[in-house]
Structure 1
Amino acid sequence: MTDTNIDTDENNLQSLSTGDCVVNEIDSDFWVFGYGSLVWKVDFPIETQQIGYIKGFQRRFYQNSIDHRGTVEKPGRVVTLVPADDETSVVYGVAYKIPKAKQQEVLEHLDYREKNGYERCLVPFYSLNANKAGESIRNIVIYVATKENDSYAGHKNDLNDIANQIFEAHGPSGPNREYVFRLADAMRQFFPHHNDDHLFELEKLLKERERKSFNG
């Protein structure tokens, strides 16, 4: 990993403060961490990828989606990261290295994709790849929906209520429940020994609602 920093004035690659993240310039090796739809929907060029985790956060369905998995009239729910009380808490996901020639293009694409309340900041990433286990990628980019954004919904955190909202929501990217199912499937595929209680319990509640709906 190089310690050379990109000229942020020229390339506009400076991260934004989220309050709980360490904010520095993005390195010339530009990595981004996927913990939601980026785990399975990579719609930008990558050079390589690694599975692993970041520390000090929890993955939660605390962000309303009005542009991808819901609408303004009937918002869906998608994940964000919230600081964990337990410093040993980790969030598993996938790290993507962006080709140098595509860095600015990908950054602009991701900023637009995450425009509904997400800001970017930088944290260490810890790889679980066989030949990279325990290795830290300094300053990986994460997108976090902060509590200050208009679509933050962490104050409504009852899982049954979240499940009801997701079950009824549909947006330009498809049914909201599909987002939950695909994320849960990806977590089992990449991290079969990890139990994401919040995600898997929500998946269970949604499947129960599907069965009831199918049976009338």
Structure 2
Amino acid sequence: MNNQVIDLSSCTTEDGSLWIFGYGSLTWKVNFPYKSRMVGYIKGYARRFWQGSTDHRGIPSQPGRVATLIRDMKEITWGVAYQVGSDDIPKVIGYLNFREKCGYTTDCVKFYSADNTTNLPSVLIYIATEDNEEFLGPATLQEEARHIVSSCGPSGQNSEYLLRLAEAMRKMGITDRYLFDLEQKICELMAQ
């Protein structure tokens, strides 16, 4: 499934900048130019390790599990919003469309800054939907942890992805119970 990119005008500011929300590896691995960054959250989504990865943290015979956003009106997802200047938007979107190529689509959603003082327009998010061929769906935390510990791909160990994401959330002062519980299970398995 190829990325479906929406009309970006609903995500751009008056100066033509685009804000992109990172909730997975973009919280700690940003390989594109940006003008500023802001910690905050989006409402109505839960971060879950339900998306398969055969191109970065796994291989076709053993897909990794990477983060996606699952619709849940009671949840919020913390992450980082990056402001991309108008001149860099085509290059950055091209890069992200390649990076998030296996089953991700895009949307624009409202962003809330951590200090609740900044009013941004909507931010662009990449979401792996349930109808894509790499979507793995829910499992128990123990099953997800086993899957993650046993997977590795061109970008490295699947466990590294999760551990670095948990570390990034802690550095920002964010508590994500699901993520931290999954991290604990992974650390227990890795210690065996």
Judge conservation of contact 1:14–1:26 (CA < 8 Å) in 2: no
Identity across the alignment (%): 40
Amino acid of the structure 2 residue aligned with 1:96: Y
Q: Do structure 1's residue 139 and structure 2's residue 122 form an aligned pair?
A: yes
**Structure 2, unaligned runs of 5 or more:** none
After the TM superposition, which parts of structure 1 deviate over 3 Å for at least 4 consecutive aligned residues? 23-26
Amino acid of the structure 2 residue aligned with 1:182: R
Judge conservation of contact 2:52–2:65 (CA < 8 Å) in 1: yes
Secondary structure of residue in 2 paired with 1:134: coil
Q: Do structure 1's residue 26 and structure 2's residue 11 form an aligned pair?
A: yes
Which has the larger Rg? Answer: 1
Residue in structure 2 matched with residue 78 of structure 1 by the alignment: 66
Amino acid of the structure 1 residue aligned with 2:178: H
Judge conservation of contact 2:43–2:73 (CA < 8 Å) in 1: no
Instruction: Count residues with an aligned counterpart.
Output: 186
Equivalent positions of 1:46-65 (< 5 A) are: 46-65=34-53
Equivalent positions of 1:32-181 (< 5 A) are: 32-86=20-74, 89-129=75-115, 133-154=116-137, 156-181=138-163
Q: Relative to total residues, which structure has the larger strand share, 1 or 2? A: 2
- Select which of 185, 195, 202 maps to 2:175: 195
Amino acid of the structure 2 residue aligned with 1:171: G
Judge conservation of contact 2:58–2:154 (CA < 8 Å) in 1: yes
Amino acid of the structure 2 residue aligned with 1:200: F
**Aligned equivalents of 1:82, 1:14: Cα separation in 2:** 18
**Aligned equivalents of 2:136, 2:60: Cα separation in 1:** 14
Judge conservation of contact 1:49–1:94 (CA < 8 Å) in 2: yes
TM-score calculated relative to the size of structure 2:
0.92
**Aligned equivalents of 2:183, 2:11: Cα separation in 1:** 35
**Aligned equivalents of 1:35, 1:62: Cα separation in 2:** 14
Residue in structure 2 matched with residue 20 of structure 1 by the alignment: none
Secondary structure of residue in 2 paired with 1:84: strand
**Aligned equivalents of 2:57, 2:169: Cα separation in 1:** 19
